Structure 1
């Protein structure tokens, strides 16, 4: 960067260089008018200098996010049907044991560069807080209209349905600098989750039970490095994952009448689930281990190369939040009550429809339509960073 001369002849001190993220860690999102954009679920990539080409996205993570969001949609579509099919309920249990952990770990991994820098705080507000407010209000209004239930209040302190993840991501992201200071972040996060499982007084505000019980997966993502994902993508892990998933389905089938599926939601304490308090920490630790094992098996089968759905990985938050309206509409309006849907062929049909719908909701046209709510620029609401303004003036003079 060249220096400019002041009118009095003194030379201006050079501006500090733009902060570059560590290797493998994404930085803040570039402006919309730049060609490169690294948007993940609540996380974004770094804007490259104009003189350098943008860093290429890792296809593995986009593929993993897309496949995880498809599993989320399938699980939500199975919920109204699973009560009459033990096999479907077993599959539901297995999917629920790892689909959100797999998604949360990636969210934590791409949050490693987060600090209190103004541009990253702005992205946290526009990419997480604003969509939370918009969709929390929208879901409640939709329920009032579609179901005729006016008793559900609009409360930003009590996330309803899918919006809990945005609330959790906002809190997790804000605490990221703290976890970077802790000597043993993952054990501490596990202790926090265990304590939450025996604390019914936490209540429903901000869905803190889920925030705290899912916290270890986010912290695990924060401490992971690229080579850790490479371990899960080895050929021997991919081979071993087949019997592991087969065993998980068998255990899930056995556990259907014996285990409360609410444990997989991580939204209740042990006392609220009607078991002794000491069961809570045991279940948190056991489910954490099971979820990690199945998540590693899931990652091992995620393609590493670019595929037809790789580009959809940037729109997973759109698919996640928008598909909930269709699932709820089906519940309110009796779409899942048809007898044919409660047969094996009907369950397969519902699964395919759910996968197709959430895929379409992740596409670029849908993202363009709903970007005003999901990724608003909101430049009018924020002050311009003084250092960035000075850099722009310096570039204009060169």
Structure 2
């Protein structure tokens, strides 16, 4: 969901029950009543992810489009990650939880990392494209990150000041160009605080953003964010929003990495709270799609990259215009919506929610 991000009914965005896997609240809440607010949030977040990715080829030369991109990129992945952390609170190393981690995160990562590598090789006529599970490409970094974050959940749950520790790690990652790119580690570490924050949240915290006062404050908050982004659009590098590079790699002094990491964390947290405040609490027509966001997340990359490889934006210059931006946004939103539907989820269950009882000992297979 960048240079390119799970918790779904057990999902990339977590579901409404703890332990959500890679999907947004889905499997996690298998045996419990689902919360429409979280399902709505998961769906709307995945729409923003797909839409923001679709803007990349058409926002050059448009200060407004660049400002919109900056605002969305500030919070759309943090929101995903925070919710994933919230529904990972009950994760431990029990056989059942380990099985869910493997089948809901590791297996989809292997399958889609391979699929994207092959797609890039043949659709982009790049025969030298390697298939490497250590080098996540485009969207799959989030699955690798979620696997690592969830494995470390017991550690964060036992530390006295987990959020402070995670912020220190993120700051260090932002000023360390020698970290290396295996498993997209710079991004894993710089986004870590949002997962840890999610682990610390309780239902009463989400009750606060559901209040009417919070919704009223969210509107001026986003208005101010857009105004600031419009001012900053020609002055600020987009690399800060991707969080996959150190300050030095962005051509900035090392100390700016620490400043930007903390500043971006504060901004992202505020906008995430504003986003959750604006998300409908009641059951909507798209609520059911919240359980299928893992599919929308993993599939929309083929559409975005496919149009790029096919030269669609080069052949249709009008797309790089205000009208074109609207059309591209609508198409991306409609496409990812279809990808989240129950039929698609059922069709992909063999790779996003495989049973795999045969691969686990009997105590793990009985979930």
TM-score, normalised on structure 2? 0.92
Q: Deviations over 1:189-222 (max 9, x none)?
A: 1011001111111111010111000000000000
Q: What is the match of residue 167 of structure 2? A: 190
Q: What is the match of residue 328 of structure 2? A: 350
Q: Tell whether the 8 Å contact from 1:316 to 1:362 is kept in structure 2 after alignment.
A: yes
Q: What is the match of residue 108 of structure 2? A: 131
* Structure 2 Cα separation of the partners of residues 211 and 386 of structure 1: 28
Q: Tell whether the 8 Å contact from 1:241 to 1:297 is kept in structure 2 after alignment.
A: yes
Q: CA-atom RMSD, angstroms?
A: 1.9
- By how many angstroms is 1:324 displaced? 0.3
* Structure 1 Cα separation of the partners of residues 269 and 200 of structure 2: 14
Superposition pairs for residues 252-271 of structure 1, below 5 Å? 252-271=229-248
Q: Tell whether the 8 Å contact from 2:25 to 2:291 is kept in structure 1 after alignment.
A: no
Q: What is the match of residue 134 of structure 2? A: 157
Q: Tell whether the 8 Å contact from 1:43 to 1:107 is kept in structure 2 after alignment.
A: no
Superposition pairs for residues 184-333 of structure 1, below 5 Å? 184-333=161-310
Q: 1:386 to 1:59 in 2, by over 3 A?
A: closer
- By how many angstroms is 1:144 displaced? 0.9
Gaps of 5+ in 2: 1-14
Is 2:32 the counterpart of 1:41? no
Instruction: Find the structure with the greater CA-based Rg.
Output: 1
- What SS does structure 2 have at the residue aligned with 1:154? coil
- By how many angstroms is 1:25 displaced? 8.3
* Structure 2 Cα separation of the partners of residues 91 and 386 of structure 1: 45
Which of the residues 104, 122, 125 maps onto 1:148? 125
* Structure 2 Cα separation of the partners of residues 388 and 203 of structure 1: 39
Q: Which runs of 4+ in 1 moved over 6 A?
A: none
Q: Deviations over 1:65-109 (max 9, x none)?
A: 000000000000001101121101100000000000011100000
Q: Tell whether the 8 Å contact from 1:94 to 1:248 is kept in structure 2 after alignment.
A: yes
Q: What is the match of residue 362 of structure 2? A: 384
* Structure 2 Cα separation of the partners of residues 348 and 302 of structure 1: 22
Which of the residues 26, 29, 52 maps onto 2:17? 26
* Structure 2 Cα separation of the partners of residues 318 and 245 of structure 1: 28
Superposition pairs for residues 72-111 of structure 1, below 5 Å? 72-111=49-88
- What SS does structure 2 have at the residue aligned with 1:41? strand
Which of the residues 327, 339, 342 maps onto 1:361? 339
Q: What is the match of residue 63 of structure 1? A: 40
* Structure 2 Cα separation of the partners of residues 133 and 283 of structure 1: 33
TM-score, normalised on structure 1? 0.85
Q: 1:216 to 1:182 in 2, by over 3 A?
A: same
Q: What is the match of residue 334 of structure 1? A: 311
Gaps of 5+ in 1: 1-23, 30-37, 48-53, 390-398
Q: Tell whether the 8 Å contact from 1:27 to 1:44 is kept in structure 2 after alignment.
A: no
| Equivalent residue pairs, number | 352
Q: Tell whether the 8 Å contact from 1:41 to 1:314 is kept in structure 2 after alignment.
A: yes
Q: Deviations over 1:134-173 (max 9, x none)?
A: 0001001001111101232111011000000000000000
* Structure 2 Cα separation of the partners of residues 186 and 225 of structure 1: 15
Q: 1:245 to 1:349 in 2, by over 3 A?
A: same
